[in-house]
Every structure is written in structure tokens, then in C-alpha cells.
Amino acid sequence: MTLFLASTAGLLLSFLIVALLRPTLPAPWHWRGRGVALHVACYLLLSGGTMLILGRPWFATVLVLSLLMLVVQVGNAKYHALRESFVFQDFEYFTDAIRHPRLYIPFLGWWKFLVIALGVVLAVAVGFWLEPAPADRFAVDGQLPGVFVSLSAGLMLLLAFHRGGLPTWRVQVDLAASGLLACLWDYARAERQPLRLPASSLSGLAPSPERPDIVVVQSESFFDARRLYPGIRRDVLGAFDALRTTAQCAGRLRVPAWGANTVRSEFAFLSGVAEAALGVHRFNPYRRLGKGMPSLAARLKAAGYRTVAIHPYHASFYRRDQIFPRLGFDEFIDLGAFAAAPRCGPYVADDALSEVIGRVLAEATVPVFIFVITMENHGPLHLEKVAPGDVPALYDVPPPGGCDDLTIYLRHLVNADRMAGQLQEMLLRHPRAARLCWYGDHVPIMAEVYRQLGEPEAETDYLIWSNRQIGDGRSWDAAAHELAARLLSPEP
């Protein structure tokens, strides 16, 4: 009886916990019947399995509900920061948060994280103390039959309804139709199929006959913030503006990420494949990426280029140490090469990257493709402080209150702009033909700033520039997956 009461109460409470998800979902009776069935199935399997292990029905119920509450709270924090709710692929970030807590926990909130952690510890301690496991839990006339019923009911529901889901991959639409647990199940099941790339915008393309050296900079959170607030000084992006006037082309860049998820834009650029063609893999294409994937790096490598990736962060982050060789990179220069490099804030300064790029170019004996992923302007921005001289240096008109994150962002944006100018000067002195492509991976996370000034779209800025061909800065708005093909064309 105790096990039945705990299971029933826990199942009902699980629906109430999911109701705390933001944006609020429709009530369960408005979900598809399959979504309700999968919710019940997932809960019964989780609670039944936990009861089997612990032998404490109420403690197992509290533990499963606590884990569900954690997912809901993390999902709410993610939506608040990124405008996207929690999906199955985000479970990987739980281990990343342990290895790189500064990148993730501040968005949940350190106090909320500590309360959750303390609550889990107390729940475990109290659960073991208040509810002893019965000695006959594995006996036929003990707990075992009840646990078996719970697991069997969950398994039968899962077998009956695990197929037939038709996710749109628009997270809010799928959640509203089926609920949280059913969506997690559908997204997990879909990801079992490895990523297979369709024809991309790179198909049939090759480097131009002059075989220029190619430098691509994916600049962290780079976008023209002057669109967001006109009081920002124009010279914040003075070097980028100068590059743009003689670029082959420049404009707005539609990216498949907003606020974070750098690898979405990164993969779109390197693969030339649109987000819509990736299915469930759009959320993190590196999770199921196989060997021999077509990419810009692989295509250039086949054409005789040396291919080098540079990212001043841990090589294992997003498993880039495994993924980049699969994408065709000969070498990956990671954080280990920047031990003595200057920092700006908590990360390696953009200036330090210019020096490494220059060294790779100088040492090259064949055409070289350098793909750079900067780190300096990575948040959380609110962990840094505005310096006394920042506001007069960055604004003609000071921003309204609550915009400290914007000031900190602009401080780093100025450094990114200086890096762009350094690369232009370097390539103008470079003895070989060279092309520079510069683009932002996504807009920054600045929730309070956007409440004051309005949210930007999922658009950053880019340009393609050549040290041999003076362009007219023609305006051409593009999507991230179209950019590499434009870079390779004889006349970008």
C-alpha cells in the first residue's frame, strides 16, 4: 500500500512540476494522448527503478521528483537566457557544468544552485534516516510485486507509444503538443540515428586558382551592438567599419543560435548545411558526428591546404579534440598553447590570437586554412564589473540603468575590433594572396539589457575581405551555412 500511495502521489506531482515550466505549457488534457502516456511511462520506469534500488518508496518518489524539478528549473533558466527550452541534448551540459562551472551555473544562479545542491544532500540524508528499507523488500510477499507492477506498466506504455512521434524540432511547439517527458523521449530516440549530411552549399566548390591563404575568425558573440543602442560610440567598431568599406561583401548573418550554442553556427559554417536539414542534430551536431564528414576544412585539405583550428579553451569542450580531425583539420591549437598569453577578463585576450595566427601564416610552406574561434567575449558578462572609465569611452550617450552587461560586452567588443584591424594590417604585409572571413557566432546573453532596449534577432555581422582585391563593400545578407561557399568562390 505504501508503494502504491507513493507512486500515485509522485505521478500526480510530476504533472504539477512540469506545469512550472516556462513558458507555461497547456494542461495535460490538451496534450496528445501519446504525450500523456509517455509521461506516465517515463515516470513509472524512473520511480520503479529507483524504488527497486533504494527500497524506500517515499524517498525514491522525492528523489525522482527532485530530479524532475531540477530539469524544469534548468529549463527555465535556459529559456530566460536563450529563448529556448530544455531538450534531451542539454543533459550533456550537466557534466560540462561540473567541469566548467563558470560557463553554466551563473545562468541558473549560484544561490539557486547552492539551494538545490543542499536540498539534494538533505533529502538523501533525511530519506535514508526516516525511511528504512524493509528487510523483505525482495520477497514475493514484500515490495517486489509492487515494484514489478510499476515497471511493467511503464514498460508496456512505453512499448505501445514509443513510436509515432512527429516532432517539428521547434521546441516550444513540441512541448505544447506532448509535454516535457515525451519530448525528452522523442528527441533522445531520434538522436540514435547518426548524423548524415545532405548535399551542402559546398558541393562542387574548390578554392580559387590563386589558392589564397584563408583566415576565418568566428568571433565570440560578435554583432554590431550599435543597432541595439544608438548612443554607443561609432568608433567602437572602427576597424571593422574600415574593413567593410573595402570588403568583397559584408552584411547581416543569420545564425542558428541565439545567446549560446556556438557549435551550431560553427558547424553550419564548416559544413555548409542548413539547420533545417539536420533534424534533431541541429541542437548539437557534434554529439553524433561520424568520420569522413564533408566540410570546408576537408575540402581544402584535399586541395593541398594545411588546415589549422585555433581555440583558446579546453580541447575537450564540445569534444572538439575528437571532432576537428573528423572535419579535416590537421592541427588543433587549444588552451594549452596559451598558458602565458594575456587574459582580458577570465579568458584569453583576442590580441593573443593575432600573434598565433601570424606565426602559423609565417611558418606555412603550402596554402593554409586557419579557423579561429575566439573566447574573450564569452559570458557570463554579469560576473565582471564596469570600470570607471568605461562609460565615457564607449558611449556618446550613457545607457539607461540596468545596462552594465552591455558596457562590459562593449569593452570586449572593442578588443575584437582591434583584432580585426591587426589581421588586416598583417595580411596587407603578407607575401601571399589571402582572404579574411570574420563573423559572429551569436548575439550575447544580456537579458536585463534586452528588457531595457529590446531583443535583437538571431543575426550577427560578417565580412569577406581580400588582400589582393579591393572590394566595394557590397551588401549581401547571408545565412551561416552559405558563407563558406561565398568565401571559396573566385569573386566573393
The C-alpha atoms of residue 352 and residue 425 are separated, in whole angstroms, by 15
What amino acid is encoded at 451 in this protein?
A: R
C-alpha cell at position 249: 561583401
Task: Give the span between the Cα atoms of 12 and 30, in whole angstroms.
Answer: 16
Residue 411: phi and psi, rounded to 5, are -60, -40
Instruction: Kindly state the cell numbers that stand for 432.
Output: 601571399
Residue 188 has pLDDT above 90, yes or no: yes
Q: What 3-state class would DSSP assign to 21?
A: coil
- Cα(438)–Cα(218) distance, rounded to whole angstroms? 6
The answer on pLDDT for 142 being more than 70 is no
The full DSSP string for 21-79 is: SSSPPPPGGGS-HHHHHHHHHHHHHHHHHHHHHH--HHHHHHHHHHHHHHHHHHHHHHH
Between these two residues, 139 and 146, which has the higher pLDDT value?
A: 146
Q: Which fold has domain 213-488?
A: Alkaline Phosphatase, subunit A (3.40.720)
Instruction: State pLDDT tens for residues 474-490.
Output: 899 999 999 999 999 86
**Predicted pLDDT of residue 402:** 93
Pick the more confident residue, 234 or 207: 234
**DSSP string spanning 438-457?**
EEESS----HHHHHHH----
Is the confidence at residue 116, as pLDDT, over 70?
no
Out of 28-32, 268-272, 488-492, pick the least confident. Answer: 488-492
Q: Under DSSP, is residue 412 helix (H, G, I), strand (E, B) or coil?
A: helix
pLDDT bin (cut points 50, 70, 90) of residue 107 is: low
- At 79, list the grid cell: 529559456
Mean of per-residue pLDDT scores for the chain = 91
Burial classification of residue 200, based on how many CB atoms lie within 10 Å of its CB (0-12 exposed, 13-18 middle, 19 or more buried): buried
The answer to whether residue 424 scores a pLDDT higher than 70 is yes
Q: Which residue intervals of the chain bear CATH 3.40.720.10?
A: 213-488
Rg (C-alpha) for the chain, rounded Å, is 26
pLDDT grade for 492, boundaries at 50, 70 and 90: low
Task: Check residue 53 and give its pLDDT.
Answer: 83
pLDDT score at 420: 98
Q: Which of 144-153, 336-345, 397-406 has the lowest mean pLDDT?
A: 144-153
pLDDT of residue 136: 67
Mean pLDDT of 127-146: 68
Beta bridge partners of 306: 368
Lowest mean pLDDT among 131-145, 164-178, 454-468: 131-145
Residue 205's pLDDT band, with cuts at 50, 70 and 90, is confident
Give me the residue label for grid cell 579535416. 328
DSSP strands (E only) in 239-391: 249-254, 306-310, 331-333, 343-344, 347-348, 368-373
DSSP character for 343?
A: E
pLDDT digits (tens, 9 = 90+) for 48-91: 998 888 878 888 888 899 899 989 988 998 999 899 999 999 99
Q: What is the largest CA-CA distance in the chain?
A: 85
The interaxial angle of helices 57-82 and 180-190, nearest 10 deg, is 80
- The arithmetic mean of pLDDT across residues 134-144, rounded, is 67
Share above pLDDT 70 across residues of the chain, in percent, rounded to a whole number: 92
Write down the H helix ranges in 258-403.
Answer: 262-271, 296-302, 320-326, 350-363, 390-394
Whether the pLDDT of residue 409 is over 70: the answer is: yes
Task: Give the pLDDT score at 215.
Answer: 98
Strand partners, 204: none
- Matching residue, cell 564528414: 293
User: What average pLDDT score do residues 397-419 get?
Assistant: 97
Dist. CA 248–CA 467, nearest whole Å: 10
Q: Among 120-129, 165-174, 177-186, 280-289, which is the least confidently predicted range?
A: 120-129
Residue 259: pLDDT above 90?
yes
Q: Do residues 357 and 370 lie in contact, with contact meaning Cβ atoms separated by under 8 Å?
A: yes
Q: Please say if the pLDDT value at position 98 is more than 80.
A: no
**pLDDT at residue 473 tops 70:** yes
- In the DSSP assignment, the letter for residue 377 is T
Q: What is the pLDDT of residue 109?
A: 66
Model pLDDT for residues 426-451, shown as the tens digit of each residue: 999 999 999 999 999 999 999 999 99
> What is the mean predicted confidence (pLDDT) over 8-14?
94
Q: Is it the case that residue 140 has pLDDT exceeding 70?
A: no
Report, as an integer, the average pLDDT of 168-174. 95
Q: Are strands 434-440 and 459-466 parallel, antiparallel or unpaired?
A: antiparallel
318 Cβ contact list (under 8 Å, min separation 6) = 262, 263, 284, 286
> Rounded to whole angstroms, how far apart are CA atoms 454 and 309?
35
